[in-house]
Amino acid sequence: MIRILAIAILLVLNGSLLQSQSDKPKLIVGIVVDQMRFDHLYKYQDRFSNGGFKRLIREGFNYKNTHFNYIPTVTAAGHASIYSGTTPSVHGIIGNTWYERSSKQIITNIGDANELIVGTDKLNSYGASPRNLLTSTITDQLRLGTNFRAKVISVSLKDRGAILPGGHTANAAYWHDWKASPGYFVSSSYYMEELPDWVTRFNKQEKSNSYLTDSWSTLYPIDSYKMSAPDDNNYERAIGGKTSATFPYDYKSMRERFKEIGAEFQLIWVSPAGNSLLTEFAIETIKSEKLGTDDITDFINISYSVPDVIGHTYGPQSIEFEDVMLRLDRDIENLLKSLDATVGTGNYSLFLTSDHGSVPVASYLADNQLPAGIANIKKYEIALMGYLNSKYGTNQWIENFDGESVYLNQDLIKQKKLSLSSVQREVADFMITLEEVTGALTASDLQTQSYSYGMNQMLQNGYHTKRSGDVILVFKPGYVQKLDPKITMQKIKGTTHGSGYAYDTHVPLLWFGKSIPKGQSLRKVSVIDIAPSIAQMLNIQYPFGTTGEPLIELFD
């Protein structure tokens, strides 16, 4: 009797440990808000709606101490890391662009001359694909794990924000092409020969055009924006023919100026309308592709690019940035409402994070007695060239210097029978004597040592043996790299990002929906933990190069 009872209990336990398809979400929604910092969830929350960011926090799980764990914190590396569960040292996306030794050229992360852009009748001279990404992504693993029955679609205004999250096997990635077409969503021949009818129909509505017929004024009376600097200040870049970076932004006249430089529809990237356009497109994607309607879990990535462009133009202290976040909150509310209606409340799981943060504008920091300054790239390059010429004789010792990485002329070093690691050491020791440089690791250091803490570890996580330079630099906090040797502090407008400091690494991580418990954690976690967590939720394999760990609180 006892034995039968024990077997019965065991069977019940076993049953509860096995996951039936009905336990799995019908759709995973990954949201990446480009250049959103952790504190932006709270700074403007008094005026967030109840159904957007605050709903995700209230009903979901909030990792309040989520960081990037590598340098450089830039868009392509961020998107690749979130979706591959590892760092540039493994996935190979070491920047938005990098120097390629074999071709002696700067290449872009998703650039691919073997492909064409699909969906524009204008001549395009560049193509795009995820081929530079060296590992699989969680979206690839979902495709593999379901015998390719799961659908994976990725959308963004930026090409890299769409392509990298979809991995190698996405059914489609779509992004907003302002270069050649009238603001159409396009794709790559990597995925398809022509756009599906529903995308063509969406494009023919010319929504980029209609969004840009009016003007951008603040959502609330402008004098109520108490969390931001006054509208007219010295830290913002005036664009589109305006003499000051102030409201209202009259799209009609700004479009004319953008048109003169062949970028008329890029204006939507510097406007909250770009987030609304992408939200509409994402909702249409879910409906038209019937995502989340059957028993096989599907996946959509939605990457909001506008906050990044607004930050680079006006800085995070601006009313422009605050207003974009308030309006993005409404867009997310609309997206959630649509998901509730189409996929069903409680049938989907969602995470929201960012690809990097941002530093307050350097001139704004300096004016407020905070540490900040300019790291003058040209000055460093000239100083280093002079040093190497005096040490080893005049020659082309440097192949490329992008500010953070020195690529030495390895052929010349070999030809002169010098030791590469010794020359790297010389360069690092010289660079560290420069005022604004606080760290310099050599490729030999990075290949032979194992760093377990701080900036050195972050450099190591961002270093790829085949793609990175010979010496990698770290600058003082608050210092921004500038190419123009004549630039002064007063001329610095808008923000940047890329460092290993908290302003660039600390990002939101919210989970919401099916099987997600309510709660929050202050445990330090990393964005590379997102992909293995999803793998555990779906009982599928981790992406090939995963170095992150599943977020155990989600499974309590």
Q: Among residues 308 and 402, whose Cβ is nearest to Zn ion?
A: 308
Whether residue 120 contacts residue 186, with contact meaning beta carbons closer than 8 Å, is answered with yes
Q: Residue 228: which region, alpha, beta or left (left: phi > 0; alpha: psi -120 to 50)?
A: beta
Position of tokens 């200040």?
Answer: 233
Count of residues of this chain found to bind Zn ion when the rule CB under 5 A is applied: 4
Side chain identity, residue 513: G
- The span of 32-40, 257-265, 313-321, 428-436 binding Zn ion (CB under 5 A) equals 32-40
- How far apart CA 524 and CA 513 sit, in angstroms, is 22
Q: Mask: binding to Zn ion, 300-339, rule CB under 5 A, as x and -? A: --------x-------------------------------
- How far apart CA 489 and CA 361 sit, in angstroms, is 10
From the list 73, 75, 87, 496, the catalytic residue is: 75
Residue nearest to Zn ion (CB): 75
Q: Among residues 76 and 406, whose Cβ is nearest to Zn ion?
A: 76
Number of CB atoms found within 10 A of residue 158's CB:
24
The β-bridge partners of 62 are: 510, 520
Shortest Cβ 496–Zn ion spacing (Å):
11
Shortest Cβ 126–Zn ion spacing (Å):
20
- How far apart CA 186 and CA 386 sit, in angstroms, is 47
Task: Provide the angle, in degrees to the nearest 10, between the axes of the packed helices 138-145 and 530-538.
Answer: 20
Sign of torsion, CA 64 70 76 81? negative
Shortest Cβ 162–Zn ion spacing (Å):
13
**Strand order from edge to edge, sheet including 510-513:** 117-118, 184-188, 172-177, 152-156, 298-304, 27-33, 348-353, 510-513, 61-63, 519-521
Side chain identity, residue 415: Q
Shortest Cβ 78–Zn ion spacing (Å):
6
- How far apart CA 174 and CA 162 sit, in angstroms, is 6
222 burial level (CB within 10 Å; 0-12, 13-18, 19+) = middle
Q: Is 75 a catalytic residue?
A: yes
Position of tokens 């593999």?
Answer: 144
Whether residue 478 contacts residue 362, with contact meaning beta carbons closer than 8 Å, is answered with yes
- How far apart CA 247 and CA 472 sit, in angstroms, is 41
Whether residue 540 contacts residue 142, with contact meaning beta carbons closer than 8 Å, is answered with yes
- How far apart CA 283 and CA 188 sit, in angstroms, is 21
Whether residue 266 contacts residue 178, with contact meaning beta carbons closer than 8 Å, is answered with yes
Interface positions, 364-393, toward Zn ion (CB under 5 A): none
Shortest Cβ 309–Zn ion spacing (Å):
9
Interface positions, 449-468, toward Zn ion (CB under 5 A): none
Shortest Cβ 75–Zn ion spacing (Å):
3
Shortest Cβ 176–Zn ion spacing (Å):
15
Whether residue 30 contacts residue 302, with contact meaning beta carbons closer than 8 Å, is answered with yes
**One of 284, 355, 381, 402 touching Zn ion (CB under 5 A):** 355
Q: Among residues 34 and 284, whose Cβ is nearest to Zn ion?
A: 34
504 scored as a contact of Zn ion (CB under 5 A)? no
- How far apart CA 373 and CA 363 sit, in angstroms, is 8
Q: Among residues 310 and 538, whose Cβ is nearest to Zn ion?
A: 310
34 scored as a contact of Zn ion (CB under 5 A)? yes
Q: Among residues 309 and 319, whose Cβ is nearest to Zn ion?
A: 309
Shortest Cβ 434–Zn ion spacing (Å):
28
DSSP string, 492-518: --S----SSSHHHHEE--EEEETTPPS
Shortest Cβ 324–Zn ion spacing (Å):
14
Shortest Cβ 151–Zn ion spacing (Å):
26
Interface positions, 178-237, toward Zn ion (CB under 5 A): none
Phi, psi angles (nearest 5°) of residue 302: -125, 115
- The span of 42-50, 349-357, 425-433, 448-456 binding Zn ion (CB under 5 A) equals 349-357
Q: E strands, 34-167, where?
A: 61-63, 66-67, 97-100, 105-108, 117-118, 152-156
- How far apart CA 403 and CA 459 sit, in angstroms, is 14
402 scored as a contact of Zn ion (CB under 5 A)? no
Interface positions, 63-92, toward Zn ion (CB under 5 A): 75
Q: Among residues 75 and 87, whose Cβ is nearest to Zn ion?
A: 75
Binding site for Zn ion (CB under 5 A): 34, 75, 308, 355
Catalytic sites, residue numbers: 75
